Amino acid sequence: MYQYDEYDATLVRERVEQFRHQVDRRLTGRLTEDQFKPLRLMNGVYLQLHAYMLRVAIPYGVLSGKQMRTLGHIARRYDRNYGHFTTRQNIQYNWPALVDIPDILGQLADVEMHAIQTSGNCIRNVTSDPYAGAAADEIEDPRPWCEIIRQWSTFHPEFSFLPRKFKIAVTGAAEDRAAIRAHDIGLKVVKNDAGETGFAVFPGGGQGRTPRIAPLIREFLPVQELLAYLTAILRVYNLHGRRDNMYKARIKILVESLGADEFRRQVEEEYEKIAADGSLALPDEEIERIRGFFPPPPQAESAEPVQFSDDADFALWRKHNVRPHKVAGLKSVVISLKPIGGTPGDATSEQMEAVADLAEQYGFDEVRVTMEQNLILPHVREADLEAVWRALADIGFATPNAYTATDIVACPGLDYCSLANARSIPISQEISTRLDKSGLIEDVGDVTIKISGCINACGHHHIAHIGVLGVDKKGEEFYQITLGGSHSDDADIGSIVGKGLPGEDVPAAIERILRAYLATRSDGERFLDTLRRVGEEPFKEAIYEAA
Amino acid sequence: MKMISSNKLTDGRVIFWTGAGWSADMKDGKVLEDDAADAELEAALKDEATEVVGPYLIAVDGHDPAGRERLRETIRLTGPTTGSTKYVHGIKPGTEA
């Protein structure tokens, strides 16, 4: 993984000390809250319902064992022994005291981490395929490109005060596991007819109150031109993005209002100007230097088939939580942070430290955070799978439900978030518990359920097969159900099927949706395929049948 | 009836205006007649310099949250209704230092 050079280290250290002084000035009245708020937000510090929240960047979701151990230590020393992994592959602490945050940032800097640009109208943490460098279907490892974008965008003076926040996602695989078309810019590594590597460019996607799937405006961008083209997109957005209305300020609104063709024309025009002097062209030697931080995955000591024990629980876990790897003899392991009835994405200090140990002992010192709020050990020898499974079971992290209906994504919701209209976590817990008891999980297979406590959609409900959106109706919580969203290659926005339900009715309604699917599907058909084939009517009837 | 609530500057914990200062216990909060609330809020806002963040008026019925924001203010008062912090530690968030 990437190692800081002296510039990175200095920049992060200086930022810690700057923030320490800013906190001191706020506490002693030399900065007003209005003056301090944008400064704390630039360092990932929000004020939520009960306390401050610190959002720590995990660049493209990649952690070392040492970094994970530090995250666990911070949770124990400065928080309530927990951290919460988010849909943007970051971690949030829900209870840090403002007076402690400079010290927390100092400890993060010790392990080459920070909270810079995890808030504010700037280019946020770049997200990516959590199986980067390991996926069997990968065209090229996207992490070097993520790192190049991270370096380019960090403190970029031209793009530090954009009309609104800006999120970039990169995938290097055939299957989109990074939801690239639901981002401000999505990049997909592709090959052209000559076998050269480049990017397909999708700007103008996003969720929130106006969800949009990003259109393709460039089928093939040579890799050397990445920063020139990103700059062109950002310049067009910075110039024309609406600053008069924060609800219409994201790039998706600009792309839609101009139309994809006109937006493309303006970007290409700007790009031609930038490309003419070549100053933003990526030198091949710099690309190779960054690639050098991300060597090919390790080779397994043996690619011989492994004889696993006949433990049924282990077999079920392998079925759902062990994924194919590009190297024979290796697998990727999904660590489920979705215990049945638990809080999606939460991990205790002890759990984080145990995962750090496992990464170092069995995982070639790498951990990934996923947008599904799980963790991944990307490279594990098949021969070590049983030992990893047993160790995960010891810490409550071996729930065999990765990518199943109980692998539910949920934002913090009204239990923590000052923006939320309704609670998300209790609904996810009740759905998880009910579906687990229903015995349907194995049969329904590939279904995604995602819950947001408000229209900002941090829980990604728009791109869920079954989405749940919390709304406020005269002070009461109600939940709208959406159907048909997808974050993948068949990306789509789910549609609201009807009036909102009280929270206590939602788990049963979701079970009825799944039963309707089982009654309607053809052989081998996924939930989404059935929904697209028959339309939403049978599912709508199922949702409201008891009403 | 109204009360003034805020978050403590140093740690963000939920607090209530007593008329002379701030308390983490809502029972200590000063209950205000609606027509006196704005003037009292002006007084409380002076503490934003070094003690609190964003004081604002909440609707109350006696010493309990009321009105449209009742659920939100109840959660602020008693902490997350579920989740790791609550059920594992048994802490009542908002009351711990």
Chain B residues within 8 A of A25 when measuring between CB atoms: none
- Four-CA torsion A165, A171, A174, A178, nearest 10 degrees: -50
Q: Which amino acid is at A365?
A: D
Mean pLDDT of chain B: 87
Is residue A359 located within the same domain as residue A419? Answer: no
Confirm or reject contact between A414 and chain B (CB < 8 A): yes
Closest by CA position to A451, among listed A512, A506, A517: A506
CATH of the domain at A67: 3.90.480.20
Give the pLDDT score at A301. Answer: 80
Residues of chain B contacting A, Cβ within 8 Å: 7, 9-14, 48-50, 53-54, 67-72, 75-76, 79-85, 88-89, 91, 93-94
Give the pLDDT score at A29. Answer: 97
Closest Cα in chain A, distance from residue B89 (Å): 8
Number of Cβ within a 10 Å radius of residue A269: 11
Cβ distance of B9 and A32 shorter than 8 Å:
no
Closest by CA position to A40, among listed A119, A123, A113, A95: A119
Give the pLDDT score at A428. Answer: 96
- Asked if residue A262 belongs to a domain, the reply is yes
Q: Give the contacts of A237 (CB within 8 A, at least 6 positions apart).
A: A162, A163, A166, A251, A254
Statement: residue A299 has pLDDT above 90: no
Of B80, B88, B89, the CB nearest to A415: B80
Chain A residues within 8 A of B11 when measuring between CB atoms: 51-52, 97-99
- Asked if residue A81 belongs to a domain, the reply is yes
Cβ-based contacts under 8 A for chains A and B: 91
Confirm or reject contact between A25 and chain B (CB < 8 A): no
CATH of the domain at A440: 3.30.413.10
Q: Going by DSSP bridges, is the β-strand pair A168-171/A185-191 parallel, antiparallel, or unpaired?
A: parallel
Chain A interface mutation, best of B5, B6, B8, B9, highest count of A Cβ atoms under 10 Å: B9
Is residue A166 located within the same domain as residue A59? Answer: no
Confirm or reject contact between A36 and chain B (CB < 8 A): no
- Asked if residue A188 belongs to a domain, the reply is yes
Chain A residues within 8 A of B82 when measuring between CB atoms: 343, 415, 423, 425-426, 429
How far the first Cα of chain B sits from its last, in Å, is: 29
Instruction: Retrieve residue A38's tokens.
Output: 């944008």
- Asked if residue A54 belongs to a domain, the reply is yes
Cβ distance of B75 and A52 shorter than 8 Å:
no
Is residue A27 located within the same domain as residue A81? Answer: yes
Residue finishing a domain among A291, A325, A341: A291
Over residues A477-494, mean pLDDT: 96
Q: What is the DSSP letter of A329?
A: T
Q: Which of A101-105, A195-199, A371-375, A521-525 has the lowest mean pLDDT?
A: A521-525
Is residue A99 located within the same domain as residue A17? Answer: yes
Over residues A269-284, the pLDDT tens digits come to 999 999 999 999 999 9
Residue of A nearest to B15 (CA): A50
Of B50, B53, B75, the CB nearest to A49: B75
Is residue A420 located within the same domain as residue A504? Answer: yes
Is residue A224 located within the same domain as residue A341? Answer: no
- Asked if residue A388 belongs to a domain, the reply is yes
Chain B residues within 8 A of A80 when measuring between CB atoms: 85, 89, 91
3-state SS class at A141: coil
Give the pLDDT score at A302. Answer: 78
| CA separation for the pair A203, A216 (Å, rounded) | 7
pLDDT confidence bin for B92, thresholds 50/70/90: very low
Over residues A178-220, the pLDDT tens digits come to 999 999 999 999 999 999 999 999 999 999 999 999 999 999 9
Is residue A338 located within the same domain as residue A272? Answer: no
Is residue A221 located within the same domain as residue A342? Answer: no
Could you tell me where the DSSP H helices lie in A216-250? Answer: 226-240
CATH of the domain at A335: 3.30.70
- Asked if residue A508 belongs to a domain, the reply is yes
Chain A residues within 8 A of B81 when measuring between CB atoms: 415, 423, 426
Cβ distance of A50 and B67 shorter than 8 Å:
no
| CA separation for the pair A475, A244 (Å, rounded) | 29
Chain A residues within 8 A of B48 when measuring between CB atoms: 32-33
Over residues A473-477, mean pLDDT: 91
Chain B residues within 8 A of A101 when measuring between CB atoms: none
Is residue A424 located within the same domain as residue A519? Answer: yes
Closest Cα in chain A, distance from residue B31 (Å): 21
3-state SS class at B56: strand
3-state SS class at A3: coil
Is residue A201 located within the same domain as residue A283? Answer: yes
Portion 311-370 of A in contact with B at CB < 8 A: 342-343, 346, 348
| CA separation for the pair A317, A334 (Å, rounded) | 9
Of B11, B69, B82, the CB nearest to A425: B82
Of B10, B14, B50, the CB nearest to A99: B10
Give the pLDDT score at A304. Answer: 80
Sign, CA torsion A385/A389/A395/A399:
positive
Backbone φ and ψ for A69, nearest 5 degrees, come out as -65, -40
Residue finishing a domain among A88, A110, A132: A110
For the residues of A349-383, what is the DSSP string, one character each?
HHHHHHHHHHHHHHSTT-EEE-TTS-EEEEEEEGG
Chain B residues within 8 A of A342 when measuring between CB atoms: 84
Of A28, A29, A33, the CB nearest to B54: A33
- Asked if residue A128 belongs to a domain, the reply is no
Cβ distance of A51 and B7 shorter than 8 Å:
yes
pLDDT confidence bin for A126, thresholds 50/70/90: very high
Chain A residues within 8 A of B14 when measuring between CB atoms: 49-50
Chain A residues within 8 A of B88 when measuring between CB atoms: 81-82, 348
Closest by CA position to A489, among listed A214, A181, A208, A216: A181
The total number of structural domains in chain A stands at: 4
Domain extent at residue A362? 312-394
3-state SS class at A169: strand
Is residue A173 located within the same domain as residue A266? Answer: yes
Give the pLDDT score at A541. Answer: 96
pLDDT confidence bin for A60, thresholds 50/70/90: very high
Statement: residue A247 has pLDDT above 90: yes
- Asked if residue A130 belongs to a domain, the reply is no
Is residue A322 located within the same domain as residue A440? Answer: no
Residue finishing a domain among A110, A129, A164: A110
| CA separation for the pair B84, A346 (Å, rounded) | 7
Distances (CA, A) of A101 to A96, A98, A106, A536: 7, 5, 8, 48
Chain B residues within 8 A of A85 when measuring between CB atoms: none
Give the pLDDT score at A524. Answer: 87
Question: Do A333 and A31 meet the contact criterion of CB atoms below 8 Å apart?
Answer: no
